[in-house]
Amino acid sequence: MPVIHSLGLPRIGAQRELKFALEDYWNGASGRESLLSVARHIRQQNWARQRAAGQPRVTVNDFSLYDQVLDHSLLLGVIPQRFRDDSSDIFDTGFRMARGRAPSGTPRRACEMTKWFDTNYHYLAPELEAEQAFVLDPSKLLAEITEARDAGHAVKPVLIGPVTWLWLARCAAGEFDRLQLLPALLDSYLQLLELLAGQGVDWVQIDEPVLVLELPRAWRAAIEDAYRALAASPVRLLLTTYFGGLGDNLDLALSLPVAGLHLDRVRGGEEYRRVLAELRDDQVLSLGVIDGRNIWRADLAALLEELQPLSQRLGERLWLSSSCSLLHVPVDLEAEDAFDPELRSWLAYGAQKLDELHLLGEALAGRDVADALADNARALASRRGSERVHREEVRQRCRRLSLVDGERGLPYGERAPLQRSRLNLPLYPTTTIGSFPQTADIRRTRAQFRRGELPEADYVERMQTEIADCIARQEACGLDMLVHGEAERNDMVEYFGEQLQGYATSRNGWVQSYGSRCVKPPVIYGDVARPDAMTVEWSRYAQSLTSRPVKGMLTGPVTMLQWSFVRDDLPREQTCLQIALALRDEVRELESAGIAAIQIDEPAIREGLPLRRSAWEPYLDWAVYAFRVAACGVGPATQIHTHMCYSQFNDIMHAIAAMDADVITIETSRSNMQLLEAFTDFEYPNEIGPGVYDIHSPNVPTVEQIVVLMRRAAERVPAERLWVNPDCGLKTRGWEEVGPSLENLAAAARQLRSEA
Ligand code: GLN
Ligand code: ZN
């Protein structure tokens, strides 16, 4: 009979209790005790859930008030110098490292935050000195162990492995080889494991997701050194990998003296069969069979068929879990009321995934779970056969797509003069990225309409007033290419998801993104189609108010895919193409409505890159093609824009160029135009708008600052191909900063023109 366990649970709370408790604590509305009591309640609930789901040990230390990587830095005593000023206690020091400020302590520059592997979760990068010392502070970990035991649970603590933690770390000052710190780091880990052994802990889950990456030789050696050293400890280590298969690291993993190995069965496929052949007699194999990255119910019958022989052979040496921590899925479907019964029956959030694991365990132990299995089979059959999932006309249209559908007809060099004469723009044209301040009034109006408290006609009228105001302000600032301002949009993906068939929007499907921030990805459950125009009326109205060109504004197919829960019964690229076709129709309809420039935002194209470099090109091929399918239905005189936020472009320049947008706007102001270098080195042939206004800051950029940045840009890109614009959308800013900033931006452009 297999052992069921969890790699980690969501910790934000089913109603985002932790989010609100954190924010109350930060802004002084409540004290530390009430935050700690909310946190304790969530942990207790999570542990109770695991116990109820047949797990002999509950996972501890997966909980975090902010971020588990930050917790490990604190555990190891790795606190950057600037926070060691004794102005706050350790509790607030963590928050200061994360956010730059806390209720107590002097504000400091926060630690760098970046994406956790290929998820939308962000961790705080550890900052290391060349002479870094490690000073163990296991207080949080030990307190949680005690707390769980006091509640009557046996525990399995989880740690981030030393190599993964080191891999994710940054050098604080000058670059040095982080691996030189490994021996000292291992001493600390060993000390920690001995401490846990002293507490009577038998198993420790030690996460090394770096094993799914293509690792440099030195880092593979580090894994070997690490686990040879840690083998001296008496606790049993479950070496845990996720987010992919091990590939060329499989032999390495098999050679390590660890008591168990966890593999991601969902993404790693059949790889575990090799492990099975080589597993030592005393080793445990943990299989992540339930998808921790998506929200679909599992096919339990198929899993049971696969697991039965394994279970017979391995008995208690077979462990079952989710593929990765459940941090990446919403908490509990019970707290969700947005879906109709049919769609709902296809879904499993975190709590339901624990139930699925429980059921698998019970079935493999020979208990009668026929009813539950029948229910699972019914749900799967309903999903497979549903008419909402399959739209033959969409499938056919995708099949008929060919290379020409991704071609503009004329090359950029011939499109540009046609667009120039149609748009009649000056040198250094000015524009914005799309959104304008989302005032409290705008949010209230949208909420009222959503709740049915505002008739549609009134809603439209109010939004039109907002658009008119936005257009008037842009004209007053002297901008050249205007936008309607996106007042009607809550979110750049959800807005379109709500209007497309095949998409559903949850009400409570929150997933932690970083700290107290959560995202609510829409669900793509079926073939995607566009029943009606989505943005055309707003754009048409905006254009009717001005003689300057108004840019249409859409979210691109890759971003629509990347920021959603995607169906698992169709290759991702097919779903992406379906979205691209829906957008293509929208783009053409905008063109027919007289919109001469259309922006298709693709901020997520880079984060869609697979973890392994060898898989990059196939991904980029279909991602670029999808963008082109969306963009290429229009004539050569219609100008296609795209926008991407702060990212490294160097190694994907060929793909950016292949998108062949007439204009790309990027975030560059904070990098002092350095990000532009990738475009220069590549000799990027089309137009570029390098951001000159840092929209993450409330500061108003001066004319002089903008001119300096643009002059720097003009040294790299011919002036004829440069645009002047902010880094990103302005929706989080207030008009009091946006107005003066855009006036300065337009004034800077005029100055540049006069100098040209
Ligand atoms: N058009 C969007 C906006 O202005 C783009 C947002 C983004 O790049 N993330 O808000
Ligand atoms: Zn952006």
Q: Which residue has a Cα nearest atom 1 of ligand 1?
A: 434
Per-residue model confidence (pLDDT) at position 647 = 76
Per-residue model confidence (pLDDT) at position 671 = 83
Q: Which residue has a Cα nearest atom 10 of ligand 1?
A: 729
Catalytic residue among 41, 72, 153, 696: 696
pLDDT tens per residue across span 551-586: 999 999 999 999 999 999 999 999 999 999 999 999
Per-residue model confidence (pLDDT) at position 143 = 98
Q: Which residue has a Cα nearest atom 6 of ligand 1?
A: 729
Residue 660 binned pLDDT confidence (cut-offs 50, 70, 90): very high
Mean pLDDT on 451-459: 97
Per-residue model confidence (pLDDT) at position 389 = 97
Q: Tell me the ligand closest to 604's alpha carbon.
A: 1
> Any known ligand binding at 387?
no
The secondary structure of 136-168 as a DSSP string is: ---HHHHHHHHHHHHTT-EEEEEEE-HHHHHHH
Say what percent of the chain tops pLDDT 70. Answer: 100
Any idea what DSSP says for residue 222?
Answer: H
Check if 603 has its Cβ closer than 6 Å to any atom of ligand 1: yes
Check if 162 has its Cβ closer than 6 Å to any atom of ligand 1: no
Say what percent of the chain tops pLDDT 90. Answer: 97
> Which residues sit opposite 203 in a β-bridge?
236
The secondary structure of 255-302 as a DSSP string is: HS--SEEEEEHHHHGGGHHHHHHH--TT-EEEEEEE-SS--BPP-HHH
Check if 728 has its Cβ closer than 6 Å to any atom of ligand 1: yes
pLDDT at 24 over 80: yes
Spell out which residues have Cβ within 5 A of ligand 2, the ion: 603, 645, 728
The alpha carbon of 643 and the centre of ligand 1 are apart by a number of angstroms equal to 8
Any idea what DSSP says for residue 746?
Answer: H
**Would residue 484 show up in a list of annotated catalytic residues for this protein?**
no
pLDDT at 636 over 90: yes
Q: Which residue has a Cα nearest atom 5 of ligand 1?
A: 729
Q: How many residues does the chain have?
A: 756
Find, among 601, 527, 524, the residue nearest to 296 by Cα.
524
Mean pLDDT on 503-525: 97
Burial class (CB in 10 A: 0-12, 13-18, 19+), 402: exposed
Parallel, antiparallel, or unpaired for β 517-519 and 511-514?
Answer: antiparallel
Residue 725 binned pLDDT confidence (cut-offs 50, 70, 90): very high
pLDDT at 722 over 90: yes
Find, among 649, 657, 647, 645, the residue nearest to 683 by Cα.
657
Per-residue model confidence (pLDDT) at position 356 = 98
Atom of ligand 1 nearest to the CA of 435: 4
Task: Name the amino acid, one letter, at 397.
Answer: R
**Which one of 481, 558, 643 would you pick to mutate in the ligand 1 pocket, going by the greatest count of ligand atoms within 8 A of its CB?**
643
**Residue 232 CB neighbour total at 10 angstroms:** 11
Mean pLDDT on 607-620: 96
Atom of ligand 1 nearest to the CA of 603: 8
- Secondary structure (H, E, C), 562-626: HCCECCCCCCHHHHHHHHHHHHHHHHHHHHHCCCCEEEEECCCCCCCCCCCHHHHHHHHHHHHHH
Per-residue model confidence (pLDDT) at position 698 = 87
CA dist., res. 190 & res. 363, Å (int): 38
Residue 90 binned pLDDT confidence (cut-offs 50, 70, 90): confident
pLDDT at 129 over 90: yes
CA dist., res. 531 & res. 529, Å (int): 6
pLDDT tens per residue across span 407-442: 999 999 999 999 999 999 999 999 999 999 999 999
CA dist., res. 728 & res. 708, Å (int): 19
Q: What is the mean pLDDT of the chain?
A: 97
Q: Which residue has a Cα nearest atom 4 of ligand 1?
A: 729
> Any known ligand binding at 517?
yes
The alpha carbon of 667 and the centre of ligand 2 are apart by a number of angstroms equal to 7
Check if 434 has its Cβ closer than 6 Å to any atom of ligand 1: yes
Atom of ligand 1 nearest to the CA of 432: 4
pLDDT tens per residue across span 274-285: 999 999 999 999
The alpha carbon of 726 and the centre of ligand 1 are apart by a number of angstroms equal to 11
Q: Tell me the ligand closest to 691's alpha carbon.
A: 2
CA dist., res. 623 & res. 630, Å (int): 11
Check if 492 has its Cβ closer than 6 Å to any atom of ligand 1: yes
Mean pLDDT on 736-751: 98
pLDDT tens per residue across span 318-331: 999 999 999 999 99
Mean pLDDT on 220-229: 98
pLDDT at 592 over 80: yes
- Could you tell me if 511 and 19 are in contact, meaning their C-beta atoms sit under 8 angstroms apart? no
> Which residues sit opposite 244 in a β-bridge?
none
pLDDT tens per residue across span 532-545: 999 999 999 999 99
Per-residue model confidence (pLDDT) at position 669 = 86
Check if 644 has its Cβ closer than 6 Å to any atom of ligand 1: no
Contacts of 76 (CB under 8 A, 6+ apart): 134, 135, 136, 137, 165, 185, 188
> Any known ligand binding at 115?
yes
Q: What are the tokens at 276? A: 């099975």
CA dist., res. 529 & res. 397, Å (int): 11
Mean pLDDT on 661-672: 92
The alpha carbon of 27 and the centre of ligand 1 are apart by a number of angstroms equal to 28
Residue 147 binned pLDDT confidence (cut-offs 50, 70, 90): very high
The alpha carbon of 603 and the centre of ligand 1 are apart by a number of angstroms equal to 8
Per-residue model confidence (pLDDT) at position 665 = 98
CA dist., res. 136 & res. 159, Å (int): 13
**Which one of 491, 644, 728 would you pick to mutate in the ligand 1 pocket, going by the greatest count of ligand atoms within 8 A of its CB?**
728
Find, among 730, 736, 589, 727, the residue nearest to 668 by Cα.
727
Q: Tell me the ligand closest to 666's alpha carbon.
A: 2
Q: Tell me the ligand closest to 668's alpha carbon.
A: 2
CA dist., res. 301 & res. 299, Å (int): 6
Atom of ligand 1 nearest to the CA of 433: 4
pTM of the model: 0.96
- Could you tell me if 497 and 505 are in contact, meaning their C-beta atoms sit under 8 angstroms apart? yes
CA dist., res. 706 & res. 724, Å (int): 9
The alpha carbon of 295 and the centre of ligand 1 are apart by a number of angstroms equal to 26
Per-residue model confidence (pLDDT) at position 648 = 85
The alpha carbon of 731 and the centre of ligand 1 are apart by a number of angstroms equal to 8
> Any known ligand binding at 87?
no
The alpha carbon of 520 and the centre of ligand 1 are apart by a number of angstroms equal to 17
> Any known ligand binding at 353?
no
Find, among 139, 43, 159, the residue nearest to 94 by Cα.
139
CA dist., res. 140 & res. 153, Å (int): 17
Per-residue model confidence (pLDDT) at position 300 = 98
pLDDT at 607 over 80: yes
CA dist., res. 20 & res. 437, Å (int): 24
CA dist., res. 659 & res. 642, Å (int): 9
Check if 553 has its Cβ closer than 6 Å to any atom of ligand 1: yes
Check if 446 has its Cβ closer than 6 Å to any atom of ligand 1: no
**ipTM (interface predicted TM):** 0.99
Residue 158 binned pLDDT confidence (cut-offs 50, 70, 90): very high
The alpha carbon of 496 and the centre of ligand 1 are apart by a number of angstroms equal to 13
> Any known ligand binding at 435?
yes
> Which residues sit opposite 58 in a β-bridge?
155
> Any known ligand binding at 433?
yes
pLDDT tens per residue across span 169-210: 999 988 999 999 999 999 999 999 999 999 999 999 999 999
**Which one of 435, 644, 696 would you pick to mutate in the ligand 1 pocket, going by the greatest count of ligand atoms within 8 A of its CB?**
435
Per-residue model confidence (pLDDT) at position 85 = 87
Residue 245 binned pLDDT confidence (cut-offs 50, 70, 90): very high
pLDDT at 675 over 80: yes
Per-residue model confidence (pLDDT) at position 86 = 77
Per-residue model confidence (pLDDT) at position 471 = 98
Q: Give me the torsion for CA of 59, 269, 333, 327, rounded to 10°.
A: 40
CA dist., res. 468 & res. 541, Å (int): 9
CA dist., res. 118 & res. 223, Å (int): 21
**Which one of 431, 433, 496 would you pick to mutate in the ligand 1 pocket, going by the greatest count of ligand atoms within 8 A of its CB?**
433
**Residue 621 CB neighbour total at 10 angstroms:** 13
Check if 738 has its Cβ closer than 6 Å to any atom of ligand 1: no
